[in-house]
Structure 1
Amino acid sequence: MNSPATAALMSRIDEEAAAANLHLTGDGDAGAMSANLTPAMSAWLNTEVGPARGSAITAVKNAASQITMPGGVQGFVFEFERDRLRRERNTGKAEAQTRFYERFGAELDKQRDVEQQYEAMRFHEGGRNARNPGRLIDLLIPLAIMIPEGFMNYKFFLEYVGVGIVALGSTVVVGLAIGWAAFLAGRFLKAYNFYMGPNNDRMRAEGLRMITIALGLLTVALVAVGAVRYMGIVRDNVARVMLAQPPLEPFSQTGMLLFGNLVVFGLGMAITYWLHDRNPLFAEKAEENEKLSKKVAQLRKRELDDRLEQIDAAYTQNLERTQGQAQLLKTKPGYDEVARSVGLIADKDNAVLGVLQEYRSRLVRKMLPDMPIKLEDGQTVRPAGFAALPIDLYRH
């Protein structure tokens, strides 16, 4: 379509490419002939195409209405009625999505912002995914370390204090101390460059505090275990001497127990090192993004998806009924001429769609890659996403 009308539309490319942002039409917009049109595209359709097209559609409708159906019902054009049903469906969906956004816009905006922040951090991290085991796994690591710690230490605490509940409590405290120390040390070592990097005194202070707590807990726990084992051996040796039995060597026995505790500590530290990310902020942002994404998905399922499914079900039911009526209508005299006129309108529409798509293609090439383009539901796409959106002219 090389015409003055086409040239008038193409002359708007520079203006829209330079705009701060564009807001596209939606299926629910009054007077819009299609969704996903820029203001220039929509205005061009309404002024250059709409009047003549509207007259042609009305003429075809009038011709179809002259065909009498059983019961005296007026005939209709199936293609136009199908478009009307589609428009009603899409308008209903748009209204439901608008209400959803009005109610939960703050949550949606927050999730979108966090997702963008995470993707920006992911880009700076070379496109890798964050290693984030989750809070439950973080809690299970120290608790899991308590199990081998209990097998190693409980017997010696019980032999020394002689009271089961006290021995159990002491074993639990020591196990938690070593487990927590392993967890903190593993995270510090994995993120050593993050915590101890230059020009970040706050992160350095946090890293030093973390490893200091880890070493302090480990030292206190090992001293407690070593003292109980050593003093227990010394006390037992007195009885062994009185019974003419050879005494145990306290240093080697105590050293073996401490070595076993250190092995468990090292295992816990290695597991923590393997599970966690070298950039804690990246892992925290990934966790926040995952949590908010799940929350928004649950909101959509509960507050929006069921309504959209109801709208789709109603559309399918109405369309099937209309298709059945159309099969009977097509057998009536005079409908062949109606069908021919519908085909002519479809051919003209294809030519118009070609102009719109050519305009959009040229516009996208002139736009900045990160230019924001707003959709009817409040979401934003970039030019590449805009280029892939469907354009379809309604006929009703």
Structure 2
Amino acid sequence: MSENTPPKRRLKSLFFVVLLISLIAASFYWHSNNSKYLVSTSNAYVSGHIVPLDSQTSGTVKWISAEQGDKIKAGQLLVKLDDTDAKNQVKLKEQKLSLEVRNITALRQKTLSLATQVKQIKVSLKMAEDEFSRRKKLRDQAMVSQEELDTSRSKRDELRISHQVAMQKYDESQLLAGTMPIADHPQVKQASVELKAAYIRLSRTNIVAAVSGTVAAKNVHLGQYVETGDLLFRVVQLESSWVEANFKENQLTHLAPGQPVTIISDLYGQDKNYKGKITAIGSGTGAVFSLLPAQNATGNWIKIVQRVPVRVEFEQAIPGNYQLPLGASLQVTVDTSVKVQTLADNEPNHILKTQIYDDPASDSQQKINDIIRSNEGDFALSMAARK
């Protein structure tokens, strides 16, 4: 600074120099004291649920409503299969159920008829026994012939046998017909189960989305014949994505679930920072779960620093204009100065569920009940009238 510089100007320049040195010193002090609590890695990627949508039945594809990149909602109809065979099976099973109900109804009516026959034979048997008793007494007094007594005895014995046969037929018919409501009869229940299975198969010719998300891959085309279990779509749920950060072994010392995390993506750079927190720390290195785990008990072993996956979840839903595709590279920084729960205290709380497959043929039971009622007829009234 020149000697001709005014004192005020020199003082002002000196002040700025001191201020700059102070800021540099403060910044160095802050970084030296706080950077030791920050653990970072660039070996981090966006991960998420990739939901496969498989065909639950076989058939020819005749209708498709989604393409790769489309947004879809849970329950949205995506594919229709040819349902001709499925409808025919439903009709056959409906006819079988109707026939079973009619058979059981007829069997119960037959059981009532057999019960009437048993009563009639029982009355005739009582009369024959009384007649035989009277003739036996008269025979002892020589008032009737032996032939008449033998005839009376034969008639009684025949009616006894007829009564036993009638009782056997009645018991057998009653056992087959049952006394439970017709809908609970084993044969009717079996036919009902088969019909419901046919309804379910028919409903599965309409393939719907199990979850909401984005179609990431489409493997189905018009006219294609698909088998049960064939992969049709892959759906990605970007809204429920998380971060899988792979930290070195020596970086895990102070990491714990619940610690805050700063996330920077290569896609948006420093313009957009995401906030998250650690939710789980892996229980093994990546090498342990690889297809061919390393065998370190060899003579040419070389030590390699291993990495352990750490799950980081976003604190808030990612805005639509800043969505991160699965697999996107990230820079993750954890603030280990925050002391939170330990790994042992971390309890799993991730529950995934869908109600799409709860009852694919929800109205089938009502249809089954209608078929049973329409074929059961007036049997209940007939039974009440005969009592």
Greater helix proportion: 1
Q: Please report the TM-score for the alignment, with normalisation by the length of structure 1.
A: 0.21
Between Structure 1 and Structure 2, whose CA radius of gyration is higher? 2
Q: Please report the TM-score for the alignment, with normalisation by the length of structure 2.
A: 0.21
Greater strand proportion: 2
